[in-house]
Structure 1
Amino acid sequence: MKRIMDYNSIVNGFVWGTPMLCLLVGTGVYLTIILGMPQLRYFFLSLKEVFGRKKAVQRAEGDKSISSFAALATAMAATVGTGNIAGVATALHLGGPGALFWMLVSAFFGMCTKFSEVVLAVHFRKRDEHGDWRGGTMYILEHGTGQKWLAVLFALFAFLASFGIGAAVQANSTAEGLSLGFGVDPLYSGIVLAVLVALVIIGGLRSLSTVTTYLVPFMAVFYVICSILVLGKNAQHIPEAIASTLKYAFNDPMALPGALAGWSVKLAVTKGIARGVFSNEAGMGSAPMVHATANVDHPVRQGLYGIFEVFMDTIVICSMTALVIMTTESLTGQANLTGAQLTLYAFEVGLGPVVGKYVLSAGLALFAFTTILGWYWYAETAATYLFGIWFKPVMKISWIALILLGAAGGQILGTGAQSFLTELWDLADTLNGLMAIPNLLGLLLLSGVLRTIVKDFDLERKNGKL
């Protein structure tokens, strides 16, 4: 196992290192240029799509597709997770205030990348033997580029990554949040969580999307309102936090009072971009797997939801977390804290030790729970592509077992539980990064097809057909 983890560390350094981050952002820059900045051109249209009253697209009898908003909610269930709380804090801890600036830069171009992924996913989607829409990078690569081997490779990376990112580690975060805030025994949390997830995923995509449609908007609004309350209380520090973000994005923050040894511009850039990508998953190829199931009249229309997804996840929620940490002076005042502990301290300073603890604990538990639901669909999609639809029951049982193991590993595995979960998380983190390689290749190879689809959408809108 030690040898495997040593190799994993080398690969992880590559997939989350400077070359891959340049490829991720570079792909977003390239697509932004050739598609005419869709994240700006379509931004207000995307808001209208998400919040406006939409005319229902006719659904054929037996059609198992879900609404565009339900697909968005399910995708956001997977992306809005512990990365928005712990990941942002880690980026600031390691890279300083400037990390937020680079996180937002990567999100701006990530909006175009996610838009492109979703458009191609809807364009190349196929139905399986049960009549469900299946789509995503594996279908784009097989039917768009003809590279079946790359499609299989992506599906394998997604399938294996899901067990860590989507199940065990998220269950552990949920149990940790409930234990931290409310003193709930992790074993009880694991049992309840496993039962709740089982009840949702047994009903398939319709059941899963119904739950996320109600839960995701609620938890996002809840977290944003609580963050605004903290920012309102510390409003005098907001201009200083924004100034620090801009200043230390390009200057060494070692002169900042309370700065940690190791802060540098390079760390600000790499940690900011890496955490931004990890949070919104733009370029990873995960979210298109659920967006492809939407009942929509044109691929670009669903792509608009991809733009909003990255905007809400990173530019709104991640920024809220970062500003809460900086305006409460937790970043420099508690230099020894990182991850969820740093965010927890910031909310306790802003809302008081009792309310702050409950708010963050509930937020952490909700974010992790919805991530479990969203990633289940990714795991099932990858599994059915690799093994066929007969594997769906096996997938469900394995998922539920891993949730229980992740939440209550200490009681089940004993002292080796934390080591097991850490290694599983590290492996999943690497596999998640590896997903980006075939996905980005597909986007670059099919950039011409993307332009054609976008031009068709613009023409249809101009002619009043859409």
Structure 2
Amino acid sequence: MDTIIAFVNTILWNYVLIYGLLAVGIFFSIRLGFLQVFHFPEFFRSVLRAPKRDGDGITPFQALCTSLASRVGTGNIAGVAVALYLGGAGAIFWMWVVAFVGMATAYAESTLAQLYKTRNSEGQFRGGPAFYIANGLKAPWAAVIFSVCLIIAFGLVFNAVQANAIADAMNGSFGFSKVSVGVVIAVLAGIVIFGGIRQIARVAELIVPFMAAIYLGVAVYVLLANITEVPALFTLIVKSAFGFEAAAGGVAGALLNGVKRGLFSNEAGMGSAPNIAAAATPNPHHPSSQGFVQALGVFIDTILICSATAIMILLSQKLVPGSGLTGTLLTQEAMTVHIGWFGRYFISIAIFFFAFTSIIGNYAYAENAMTYLGLGNGTGLTTLRLGTLLMVIWGAYESILTVFDAADAAMGLMATINLIAIALLSGTVVKVTRDYFEQKKLGTPHFSLKNYPELKGKVDPKIWG
């Protein structure tokens, strides 16, 4: 079984998805007129507009924070360090490239999620790739496969991975028992997830901006303290990216590791973030506005937070090819250079917050998948919640490599299905986007189904009528 899983992962992640995610990102960037450049301010406006609160959905800001809760995890700390160790300074350049095209992909999938959303039994908005695959493409079988894979990967296994990272960090820095850490995480996560998506959104709205601001604040301090070295640093990054500077892995290593880390971190095209995008009440009342919000999430995750980690590591001079110092340990050693002995503890605390919010964000995605499968009732959700918490405890102290590989395969399959779906539905994305900007020239955009006869019977007329 391990051999089969390894083979599937090799095919999906080394060939299909690496090129597929990049190709789809470039495709949407071109078809949408590079909106991540020419309409970048709209990303912020869509979040900062006065929130529209109602009983059906969460606010756009809450949706952004919840998606960032999932996106911003241990990969932003340990994963970036690994990418730099294997690919050199140039890896961060290719992460920027991936984020640039990924913003267009994130916009497309979240716009579709908004368009095809529905209401659950309690009248709250739910949706995501499963819904636009089933209703937009009339392929319910693919939607079922997607949902099952999402539940396995995001609802269960990846939460064990995040718990493992927290337990390792707390054990290494403070000496806490891994089992005890797992139980504490499970209790805290249980308090949040048993309150459902609304409770998750409220917690994310409080924690995510705080943790991001503190982390980025330290990065700004490091930049200012080393301001004279910054020009040379950016020159090194660009030269290494194109092989003009000797570095670990050469240009191929920088490209491969930067692309992989960027794709894993910002999740654009994976089909994960659209699940929470669909739960939001957009402001203005148009699917595109939530697409802009989630595109901003890619920018924050990679261009800001991943870059912050990379810059702090590179300025510390602790990145030494072949030294064996990589992952969390490399980031911790880098921080001790910048802020002294507290640096090690700062990274451990950051991992706790980044990973914990990932757990609750990941669960929110899985709850949407349960809704599509018809299991979004009390029994189904209670089973999922208990399963999530058990995986957190188990993951805190167990070696999870084999299970993680299986989850990688599940995520690879769901991402492949999602990429095909959004590519086939790209015509709808383009039409909705043009409609938004044409209306914006005249005032406030407001989506109306009367302009989309081809969507009759595919989207909820009570939501978009």
TM-score for the superposition, normalised by structure 2: 0.91
- What is the aligned partner in structure 1 of residue 350 from structure 2? 363
Shift, 1:465, TM fit = 2.7
- Asked whether 1:310 is paired with 2:298, we answer yes
Whether the aligned pair in 2 keeps the contact of 1:230 and 1:347 (CA below 8 Å) is no
Deviations 1:130-181 (A, max 9, x none): 3222211111101111111211121121111125553211111122222233
Q: How far 1:463 sits from its partner (Å)?
A: 1.4
Report what 1:29 is aligned to.
Answer: 26
Alignment-mate amino acid for residue 351 of structure 1: I
Deviation at 1:398, TM superposition (A): 0.8
CA distance in 1, matches of 2:187, 2:232: 46
Shift, 1:383, TM fit: 2.6
**Alignment counterpart, residue 40 of structure 1, candidates 18, 37, 40:** 37
What's the counterpart of residue 397 of structure 1? 386
Per the alignment, residue 112 of structure 2 pairs with: 120
Aligned to 2:325: 337
- What is the distance in 1 between the residues matched to 2:224 and 2:172? 26
Distance 1:148 1:267 in 2: 39
Counterpart code for 1:388: L
One-letter identity of the residue aligned with 1:398: G
CA deviation string 1:405-455 (max 9, x = no partner): 112x2xxxxxxx32xx12122222222222211111111101110111001
CA deviation after TM superposition for structure 1 residue 348, in Å: 1.3
Letter in 1 for 2:118: K
The answer (yes or no) to whether the contact 1:328–1:350 under 8 Å persists in 2 is yes
- SS across alignment from 2:320: helix
> Does residue 197 of structure 1 match 2:189?
yes
The one of 299, 309, 314 equivalent to 1:326 is: 314
Distance in 1, matches of 2:11 and 2:382, equals: 35
2:460 alignment partner in structure 1 = none
CA contact 1:39–1:112 (8 Å) conserved in 2: yes
5 Å matches for 1:50-65? 50=47, 52=48, 54-57=49-52, 59=54, 63-65=55-57
* 1:145 counterpart residue number: 137
Q: What CA distance in whole angstroms lies between the structure 1 residues aligned with 2:19 and 2:80?
A: 20
Please give the alpha-carbon distance, in whole angstroms, between the structure 1 residues aligned to 2:228 and 2:16.
39
Instruction: Decide which moves more: 276-285 or 63-72.
Output: 63-72
The separation in 1 between residues aligned to 2:216 and 2:144, in whole angstroms, is 39
Asked whether the 8 Å contact 2:110–2:274 carries over to 1, the reply is yes
Q: 1:164 to 1:94 in 2, by over 3 A?
A: farther
Partners of 1:369 and 1:318 in 2: how far apart? 18
> Paired residue for 2:439?
460
Give, in angstroms, the shift of residue 93 of structure 1: 1.1
Amino acid across the alignment from 1:272: G
Distance 1:163 1:143 in 2: 24
More off after superposition, 244-253 vs 151-160: 244-253
- What secondary structure, in the 3-state scheme, does the structure 2 residue paired with 1:248 have? helix
The match for 1:424 is 403
| Offset, 1:252 | 6.5
Return the alpha-carbon distance in structure 2 between the equivalents of residues 21 and 243 of structure 1. Answer: 26
> What is the aligned partner in structure 2 of residue 226 from structure 1?
218
How many aligned positions are there?
441
Answer yes or no: is the 8 Å Cα contact 2:186–2:393 preserved in 1.
yes
State how far apart, in whole Å, the 1-side matches of 2:408 and 2:229 are.
35
2:155 touches 2:365 (CA, 8 Å); kept in 1? no
Computed over aligned residues only, the root mean square deviation of the Cα atoms, in angstroms, reads 1.6
1:451 aligns with 2:430: yes
Tell me the amino acid that sits aligned with residue 289 of structure 1.
Answer: N
Equivalent residues in 2 for 1:83-94 (5 A)? 83-94=75-86
Query: Partner of 1:66: helix, strand, or coil?
Result: coil
The one of 98, 120, 123 aligned to 1:131: 123
Identity %, equivalent residues: 38
Mapped contact 1:219–1:366 kept (Cα < 8 A): yes
8 Å contact from structure 2 (residues 159, 359) kept in 1? yes
CA shift for structure 1 position 58: 6.3
The alpha-carbon distance between structure 1 residues 134 and 461, as it changes in their structure 2 partners (threshold 3 A), is same
Report the more deviating stretch, 366-375 or 25-34: 25-34
Q: Distance in 1 between matches of 2:316 and 2:46?
A: 36
Residue 95 in 1 paired to residue 82 in 2? no
Aligned to 2:278: 292
Question: What amino acid is the match of 2:275?
Answer: M
Question: What secondary structure sits across from 2:19 in the alignment?
Answer: helix
Structure 1: stretches of 5+ with no match in the other structure: 410-416
Which residue in 2 is equivalent to 1:413? none
Q: Specify every segment of 5 or more residues in structure 2 that has no aligned partner in the other structure, as ranges.
A: 446-465
Structure-2 residue corresponding to 1:412: none
Q: Tell me the residue number matched to 2:455.
A: none
Q: Distance in 1 between matches of 2:360 and 2:347?
A: 20
- Counterpart amino acid of 2:408? D
**Equivalent residue letter for 2:198:** R
Alpha-carbon distance change, 163 to 456 in structure 1, aligned in 2, over 3 angstroms: closer
Report what 1:276 is aligned to.
262
Deviates more, 1:214-223 or 1:327-336: 327-336
1:213-269 deviation line (CA, Å, top 9, x unaligned): 00000000111112222233333332222112111111165x35xxx4xx1222211
